[in-house]
Structure 1
Amino acid sequence: MGRKASTINLSEDERLYLETQMRARTIQAQTVIRARILLLKAEGISVDHIADKVGMNRKSVMLCINKYLEGGVENALFDAPGRGRNAEITDDEKAWIINIACQKPVNLGYSAEVWTRALLTKHINKFAEEAGHTRLSTISQSKVRTILEEADIKPNKITYYCENRDPDFDQKMHNVLLVYKQLSLQFDEKGQLIPFKEDEQVVHVLSYDEKPGIQAIANTTEDLLPDENHKTVSRDYEYKRLGTISLLAGIDLQTGEAIPLVKDKHSSKEYIEFLKILDSKYPETDRIRLVLDNLKVHSSEETRKYLATKPGRFEFVFTPKHGSWLNLVEGFFSKLTRQMLKGIRVKTKDELVQRIYRYFDEVNEQPVVYHWKYKLEEINSSEEVVVDTLPIQKSS
């Protein structure tokens, strides 16, 4: 018995590329033959049989195969410089490919928002000759990928960023950090709050925000608890939606106490209700300073009317637009989500409300004081915090 012929291992991209070359009408005959040689060799056909099939001598077939083994598909299909067609892609051709890749396909008449490698290669093949880059009319997906990787371009991916829409972002951030800096000076080396002096104005500082859209979800069947046969809680995929609730919460940054209000909505009415909770909680002679975002309900006409009845009682330090990360209560909300809301199932919406209040009770048994550290060393604590008391209706 004769020895079994060796094969070459073509990738899926290479195989598709060679088959495309075989079908193309504008490709030179020698390129079609060479593509056929590689495809036949990948099937394990012997060199002599390939030579008979393509009408070439054995030496030419071996040369084509060796060129593939040395440098890949394009090295095998196209002659090197000085011997006819140049297999190298020029910088101008690469720049044209990158320019196409840096455009949205939807702007070039396609339905897609971002490129796939197949769609990008198809577009390049179709319009290369028209653009004066005939060589690129047969470029493969793998070669396009290599060119984009070398340029560090990823047109198939989307990364998100936040546009700075607040011209006073830096100033507002500085003001918030100034609040945190002055707070840090109210604690001693052991982390204990230093009491206010008898003649000193007491200011309670709270970080406040809302967490709307908390879903009350019920199981359709009871969970199965872990046992000898099941390592985890087992839950049926189906569930029922019972509605949503909103959590309004503040963290006292001097004591760590978390103060909740759970309602169906978070309009001006609920916000004012929360302010009333704070008003009844702290001594009448003290001031209450809230760090919060500039949501419309925080400065609405209804809110201003209430604040006008409490002159000098409340002060507000607003975070800049898209600066919610500056608000310490956001860390508390993340903790709440991880520890209590994740995977929660209830039988009624009221049960969800009561369990949230229970969580706050548990947290307040051993309150944690939240401290801000980022960039505090750059802040001069002797500056004066800019506050807004909101007693006057803004002009339209």
Structure 2
Amino acid sequence: MRRCATASTPHAVGGWRARFVEHRIAGLGDMPRPGGPRTVTDGQVVELVARTPERTSKDATHWSTRSVAGETGLSQSTVSRIWRAFGLRPHRAETFELSTDPYLVDKVHDVVGLYLDPPERALVFCVDEKSRIQALDRAQPVLPMVPGVPQRMTAGYVPHGTTTLFAALEVATGKVIGSLHRRRRAEEFEKFLLRLGTEVPEGTDVHLVLDNYATHKTPSIKTWLVAHPRFHLHFTPAGSSWLNLVERWFAELTNKQIRRGVHKFVQALEADIRGWIATWSTDPKPYVWTEAADEILARLAGYLKRIPDSGHWLGRPRRDACGSAAYIR
């Protein structure tokens, strides 16, 4: 009866009613269709789906439709259709990193808690440095795009120095406060913190999400924090840059400004970066975090169960239950 309810024309409804009157319930099932008989059996489909992730080609690290077709006797188009139906993509491989931070569980709860439930009368910033941004000039002139031909540039380039961007992404609004320096030391980080303090109204606490780089933990920085008690640092787990939202903004900056930029000197590169930050901040777009910490850690545990020899990670006390691995990005 479901098919009758979803039919869109009186003719179709009449056809289903006639089949029901003639064959009763059996008439509502699939009837023989026109065309040639089916040539691929369910067993062949099951065998192909099992073979793809469990075995590899004899002469390659992964399967291709041609190599599978040669071993199974199926056509390449049939293999391709089955792979699409079951979401199998042997030609693709993604990377991940497992954290060894023993406090991963606590840090994930701390940082995600700031994103989902920020403290009152406080601002949350994601802070990091994009170091050694190169001012690159192409070895030969760039050929502009014309109809039918994309922009072309030489693979060779001429370096003209580097700069480092210190950036703080305000989680609530997406506004970015940036500062450019030629080096990445505790001195530059302290200057950036002073700059950040001038941008935040007095009486407002400042919570910073940042990584475990040594510059963020030097004695001078610890002394500075004691003198500025409204600043609070929250460290992401080691090897878990995916947890810092400013990394997503860095990707935007790289893709839209730096990667295809041509700069004959560092000052030109820095001017373009400052201009891009100013343009972004006129209409900032916040990145909204939606996944709870427990959901992240539960997904991690599911991944670990699929990794051979990962049982010793899951068998530790609660703090270390996921402490030897970070969420797979």
Query: Shorter-chain-normalised TM-score: which range?
Result: 0.5 to 0.7
Q: Does 1:255 align with 2:137?
A: no
Residue in structure 2 matching 1:222, options 141, 148, 151: 141
Q: Which amino acid aligns with 1:259?
A: I
Residue in structure 2 matching 1:285, options 199, 203, 222: 203
Please give the per-residue CA displacement for 1:132-152, whole angstroms capped at 9, x wherever unaligned. xxxxxxxxxx9xxx8xxxxxx
CA distance in 2, matches of 1:217, 1:164: 34
Please give the per-residue CA displacement for 1:219-269, whole angstroms capped at 9, x wherever unaligned. 2343232347x7333334432111222111111112221111111121101
Correspondence for 1:346: 263
Deviation at 1:117, TM superposition (A): 5.4
Please give the per-residue CA displacement for 1:11-42, whole angstroms capped at 9, x wherever unaligned. xxxxxxxxxxxxxxxxxxxxxxxxxxxxxxxx
Work out which structure has the larger RCO, using CA pairs closer than 8 Å and 6 or more positions apart in sequence: 2
Q: Does the CA-based 8 Å contact 2:107-2:236 persist in structure 1? A: yes
Per the alignment, do residues 239 and 159 of structure 1 end up closer, same or farther by CA in structure 2, a change over 3 Å counting?
closer
Aligned length: 216
Q: Does the CA-based 8 Å contact 1:168-1:320 persist in structure 2? A: yes
Matched position secondary structure for 1:179? helix
Q: Does the CA-based 8 Å contact 1:181-1:376 persist in structure 2? A: no
Structure 2-normalised TM-score? 0.58
Please give the per-residue CA displacement for 1:160-207, whole angstroms capped at 9, x wherever unaligned. 553331111112101111111113xx9xxxxxxxxxxxxxx6211101
Residue in structure 2 matching 1:268, options 173, 183, 186: 186
Correspondence for 1:170: 105
Supply the RMSD in Å over aligned alpha carbons.
Answer: 3.2
Deviation at 1:367, TM superposition (A): 0.7
Matched position secondary structure for 1:177? helix
Q: Which stretches in structure 2 are left out of the alignment for 5+ residues?
A: 1-54, 61-66, 72-92, 297-329
Matched position secondary structure for 1:164? coil
Residue in structure 2 matching 1:309, options 194, 214, 227: 227
The correspondence of residues 59-208 of structure 1 with structure 2, limited to 5 A, is 161-183=96-118, 202-208=121-127
Correspondence for 1:209: 128
Q: Does the CA-based 8 Å contact 1:291-1:316 persist in structure 2? A: yes
Q: Does the CA-based 8 Å contact 1:251-1:257 persist in structure 2? A: yes
Q: Which amino acid aligns with 2:126?
A: S
Higher gyration radius (CA): 1
Residue in structure 2 matching 1:364, options 259, 274, 281: 281
CA distance in 2, matches of 1:217, 1:241: 5
CA distance in 1, matches of 2:98, 2:279: 39
Matched position secondary structure for 1:233? coil
Q: Percent identity?
A: 29
Q: Which amino acid aligns with 2:162?
A: T
Q: Does the CA-based 8 Å contact 2:161-2:265 persist in structure 1? A: no
Q: Does the CA-based 8 Å contact 1:224-1:235 persist in structure 2? A: yes
Q: Which stretches in structure 1 are left out of the alignment for 5+ residues?
A: 1-100, 102-115, 119-141, 147-157, 187-200, 380-396
The correspondence of residues 49-60 of structure 1 with structure 2, limited to 5 A, is none
Structure 1-normalised TM-score? 0.49
CA distance in 2, matches of 1:179, 1:220: 46
Correspondence for 1:383: none
Q: Does the CA-based 8 Å contact 2:108-2:293 persist in structure 1? A: no
Correspondence for 1:241: 159
CA distance in 2, matches of 1:285, 1:337: 35
Q: Which amino acid aligns with 2:106?
A: Q
Per the alignment, do residues 212 and 376 of structure 1 end up closer, same or farther by CA in structure 2, a change over 3 Å counting?
same
Residue in structure 1 matching 2:246, options 315, 326, 329: 329
Q: Which amino acid aligns with 1:374?
A: E
Q: Does the CA-based 8 Å contact 1:247-1:262 persist in structure 2? A: yes
Please give the per-residue CA displacement for 1:298-353, whole angstroms capped at 9, x wherever unaligned. 1101212222322x220011111111111111111111111111221111111001
